[in-house]
Chains A and B, each alone.
Chain A
Amino acid sequence: MVMQLTPKASLHLPRLAELVRVESLAQREKVFELKLKDGEELGHKPGQFVEVSLFGIGEAPISISSSPTKKGSFELAIRATGNVTNALHRLDKGATVGIRGPFGNGFPLDEFRGKDVLVVAGGLGLFPLRSLINYIRDNRADFGRLTVLFGCRAPAERLFCDELCKWQDCKDTEFLETVDVGDDSWTGSVGVITTLFLKIDIEPSNTYAVAVGPPIMYRFVIAECVKKGIPEDQIILSLERRMKCGVGKCGHCQINNVYVCQEGPVFTYAELKQLKEAV
């Protein structure tokens, strides 16, 4: 928890940012590259989020999809779902939005250093995990083996396809993917993401598993990780909640006595077992 001695006007006041690139990823998903107009770096950690403002529409919490190793700008990958994200999808390059944050704890990078990392991304869970994957790849010597599992519903829902191919072809990353339901063009694996666990060989005590995906995925992925022998405090998950203020005040993201925007959104399975309303 960060203690601040003097109040900052910026607590509720966004910084202005410009959309410098907008690119379509899939039917309902786009990636937005942003630059803060004050010229500063966002200064985030993989796994943190920002509050994106569209003035007149509102504010929504969005995970940061680019690695902090990428300087000068940052990326948010977003599915058009609610008021803010649908309005954002209608904007073009050059538009101005508001940014507060980064907020939240992010992935425990210091603990990952020197260890093997198993990344499990279900659908949109790839968005925050892409930040981590690219961070590890940019600091490759600091980490052990990197294994990435990605699953989505159908080939048409694959995201960041160019990067997926790059990870696949790279010797220092083991990349496996699957789709729930294939189509005529698909020659890869078919089945839910847990089927990929049969194909990997890990050293459980030296491995951190990091999973992000829909809540239903967590139950099954946790079970697979436990079956593999990964200790509970080395199974890392990120939770979705209604993080309205981002600064631990408004109450919307509260799970028991925890504010997801402050102590989360990243938790270990060991921690989540103590939170009765978590998963």
Chain B
Amino acid sequence: MINFVDTLIEKKAAEEIVGVKASDSKYIFGKLANAGELCLNYDVTLLPPKKYFLPQRETVFKFKLGDKPSLEPVAEAKSIILIGVHPYDIKAIELCDAVFTTINPDPNYLLKRDKATIIGTDCLSPNPKAFCASLDTATTESGFDLMLTDIGDSYVVAIGTAKGDKLLKKYAKTREATQSELAGRDGQRKKALGEYKVSLNMSPEEIPGLLEVSWGSPVFKEKSEPCLSCGSCVMVCPTCVCFDVQDDVAFTLDKGERYRQWDGCMLVDFAKVATGENFRDDKEKRFRHRMYRKGKYLQERYGKLGCVGCGRCALACLAQIASPAETFNLLKAS
């Protein structure tokens, strides 16, 4: 594996080779200088790899001001290889793809997405807030170019696309996996499923129906009471895709740019209009909206659940209320 990754970096297989790296006691996706930096046995990264397709801040076009204003569209992308993406994040990217590439395809997203190669890795040590086992997102059969599973002394690689196959043939030394190695992979995956500390008391298919009858439930008010409206939950979420659009003018006042940046429905002003009317003016409504987006709205629109159970929101939430699993379980019990 080290040879493979070092070769990718040395031979410049893409303009940027990105992987999971340790950052203090946490993990992040970042540019790899060498294979030694790569940590494939991690629990979860602070931010999901979504940032490579929908960056925190992205210029949409540049403009020149003055008597004759002019515009110049900006859509930039580097070819990139992402190494170590967990299955739940791959499922989340598949949802982002549905949002940005089906109805009104988004040129900025598409360009970045098309130039990315995804090398996944199975999550063998889930974080304490994750509940992927309950959402069928602990493993995936699609959405990757290559998928790695650590079986101790080597990796089993599943080939997802021709692009992945080509990359592997060109830069790695491989051989056909033996039956016992494949069994080893199944064993690792099965063992990992037992490591999840949080679980849903229902199947994922039941969630939209549960929310259908839960609108007036007191659970939303009770759970949202300690909410700080800080937006941490939505900023770390791999399936949150909402953004704001703003203009920035240069110091010289003759030019500037329009950019979009991450925004989130848990922030106070998200649904506020110029007249001052705020259509989700209290935290209970915002909390409920987020839960419905995760468990119902995105499912209805794109056929995919809006939560992959990664647990990032629950890890980030200072008020300890953000986990959809907790709310869904409470609704089910009430």
Contact = CB atoms under 8 A, between A and B. Distances in A.
A17 to B, nearest CB: 11
A38 interface: no
Contact of B246 (A58, A96, A249): A58
B270 interface: yes
Contacts of B61: 12-13
Contact of A277 (B277, B285, B296): B285
Nearest to A15: B71
Interface in A1-42: 1-9, 11-14, 16
Nearest to B101: A7
A82 interface: yes
15 contacts: A11-B106, A14-B71, A55-B69, A55-B247, A56-B247, A81-B275, A215-B277, A241-B273, A241-B279, A242-B270, A242-B272, A251-B265, A256-B292, A257-B297, A257-B301
A252 interface: yes
A242 B245 CA distance: 12
Top 5 closest pairs, chain A to chain B, by CB: A82-B274, A251-B242, A7-B105, A257-B297, A7-B107
Interface residues of A, number: 47
A247 B103 CA distance: 8
Which of A4, A7, A247, A276 has the most C-beta atoms of chain B within 10 angstroms of its own C-beta? A7
A251 B273 contact: no
Interface residues of B, number: 52
B245 A59 contact: yes
B69 A256 contact: no
A270 interface: no
A6 B105 CA distance: 7
B280 A277 contact: yes
B293 to A, nearest CB: 8
Given A55-B65, A96-B69, A85 B274 contact: yes
Chain B interface main SS type? mixed
B136 to A, nearest CB: 22
Contacts of A14: 71
Given A7-B107, A277-B285, 9 more contacts: A7-B105, A8-B105, A9-B107, A11-B107, A55-B65, A56-B256, A58-B247, A240-B275, A256-B292
B297 A254 contact: yes
Chain A interface main SS type? loop
Nearest to A247: B104
B247 A244 contact: no
Contacts of B69: 16, 55, 96
Interface in B209-243: 215, 241-243
Contacts of A212: none
Nearest to A59: B245
Contacts of A82: 273-274
Contacts of B33: none
A11 B104 contact: yes
Nearest to A61: B273
Contact of A12 (B60, B103, B253, B279): B60
Contact of B263 (A3, A96, A251): A251
B300 interface: yes
A261 B260 CA distance: 18
B297 A13 contact: no
B98 to A, nearest CB: 12
A10 B207 CA distance: 37
Contact of A57 (B247, B270, B289): B247
B104 A248 contact: yes
A109 to B, nearest CB: 23
B236 to A, nearest CB: 16
B63 A250 contact: no
B75 interface: yes
A244 B272 CA distance: 11
Interface string B27-70: 00000000000000000000000000000000011010100110
Interface string B170-186: 00000000000000000
Contacts of B168: none
Contacts of A276: 215
